[in-house]
């Protein structure tokens, strides 16, 4: 049977058309053939901001075939912006393209099972005077953190932690501030290096959260990198000083600031920001809703970092004071 025949038969089955016994046999053979070619799991990024993860079964000039484990997808090349680990040439991006990526078709998993697909994209942010966390939102080096983590600083380093024959630690020293919003306490950083293909995490929907829903955080509290803590949503819209926060029971400590709050689909639903700390107070942590982060990223030009602004992080010496000589009588 020709490849074209297999492809046309699969399209009929996928659209729900009545399937003959021979067609079903051909479709099953196609699935079996796909599974026999399973390779490394990769992420396919779409122009509309969505993404899917699966095994790349085959790549053609006009399409990519992806095995999701329960379904085989044939994706047109012109709908793909990138495959993690492979650059796909599709021409210039549309102005309406999202800057970030959304989760699509991700299964609900336990916190333990979510760690392998989330942890590699969580980073440690270091400056001469502070330490915090952050997470990668684009494979080409864009990272989100809290503004207060990098406020007043321009010398910033980002540390990644991987697992290759033990702990694989990689530090990037050349990091620039792209945008910042002190009011929302959000900042966008970029690693100044070409050809990056970093692990990243998709953004979820904070409006869809429900009280009692399980969430978890990954970060570097007190410099203890790769720390995972679990909790539930206490209230999804807690008001402080005119701003809305997600209140959770997740343990958040100094160093967690700017790190991600995940749901059980491995999507970022919040940016960890602060906690109430006093004798007798436990389990009251607050995160910035991810939908506010989406607005910040979509309007990043309005919050662009300007190095010429004296309040933009550069430290200036005090101007010399006039010296008064002795008075002549």
pLDDT tens, residue order, the chain (329 aa) = 444 443 333 333 333 333 344 333 333 433 433 333 334 567 787 766 677 777 777 777 778 888 776 677 888 887 887 776 443 333 333 334 578 898 766 889 999 999 999 999 999 999 999 999 999 999 999 999 999 999 988 899 999 998 666 678 899 999 999 999 999 999 999 999 988 999 999 999 999 999 999 999 999 999 999 999 999 999 999 999 899 999 999 999 999 999 999 999 999 999 999 988 777 778 899 999 999 999 999 999 999 987 666 555 445 556 777 777 666 65
Evaluate whether 111-191 and 206-303 have a shared fold.
Answer: yes
Q: Give the residue extent of every domain in the chain.
A: 1-36, 41-97, 111-191, 206-303
Give CA–CA dist 146/125, Å, rounded. Answer: 10
Give CA–CA dist 238/181, Å, rounded. Answer: 20
Q: Give the residue numbers annotated as catalytic, written as ranges.
A: 148, 185, 257
Give CA–CA dist 124/219, Å, rounded. Answer: 7
The CATH architecture assigned to 111-191 reads Beta Barrel (2.40)
CATH number of 206-303: 2.40.10.10
pLDDT of residue 17: 35
pLDDT of residue 327: 65
Give CA–CA dist 305/271, Å, rounded. Answer: 20
Residue 222, Ramachandran bin (φ over 0: left; ψ between -120 and 50: alpha; else beta): left
Give CA–CA dist 50/104, Å, rounded. Answer: 6
Q: At what angle do helices 3-14 and 21-35 cross, to 10 degrees?
A: 110
- CATH fold, domain 41-97, is SH3 type barrels. (2.30.30)
């Amino acid at each position: 049977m020709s490849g074209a025949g297999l492809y046309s038969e699969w399209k009929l089955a996928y659209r729900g058309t009545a399937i003959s016994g021979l067609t079903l046999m051909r479709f099953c053979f196609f699935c079996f053939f796909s599974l026999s070619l399973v390779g490394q799991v990769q992420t396919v990024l779409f122009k509309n901001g969505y993404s899917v993860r699966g095994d790349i079964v085959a790549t053609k000039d006009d399409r990519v075939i992806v095995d999701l484990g329960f379904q085989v997808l044939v994706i047109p090349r012109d709908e793909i912006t990138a495959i993690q680990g492979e650059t796909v040439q599709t021409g210039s991006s549309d102005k309406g393209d999202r800057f970030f990526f959304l989760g699509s078709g991700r299964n609900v998993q336990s916190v333990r099972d979510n760690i392998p697909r989330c942890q590699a994209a969580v980073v440690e942010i270091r400056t001469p005077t502070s330490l915090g966390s952050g997470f990668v939102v684009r494979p080409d080096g864009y990272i989100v953190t809290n503004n207060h983590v990098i406020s007043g600083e321009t010398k910033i380093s980002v540390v990644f932690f991987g697992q290759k024959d033990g702990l694989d630690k990689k530090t990037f020293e050349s990091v620039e501030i792209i945008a910042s919003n002190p009011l929302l306490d959000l900042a966008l950083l970029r690693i100044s290096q070409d050809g990056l293909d970093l692990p990243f995490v998709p953004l979820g929907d904070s409006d869809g959260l429900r009280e009692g829903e399980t969430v978890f955080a990954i970060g570097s509290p007190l410099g203890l990198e790769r720390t995972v803590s679990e909790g539930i949503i206490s209230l999804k819209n807690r008001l402080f000083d005119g701003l809305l926060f997600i209140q959770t029971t997740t343990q958040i400590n100094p160093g967690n600031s700017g790190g991600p709050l995940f749901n059980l689909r491995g999507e970022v639903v919040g940016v960890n920001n602060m906690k109430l700390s006093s004798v007798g107070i436990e389990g009251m942590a607050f995160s910035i809703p991810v939908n506010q982060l989406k607005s910040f990223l979509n309007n990043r030009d309005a919050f662009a970092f300007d190095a010429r602004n004296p309040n933009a992080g550069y430290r200036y010496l005090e101007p010399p004071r006039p010296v008064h000589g002795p008075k002549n009588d």
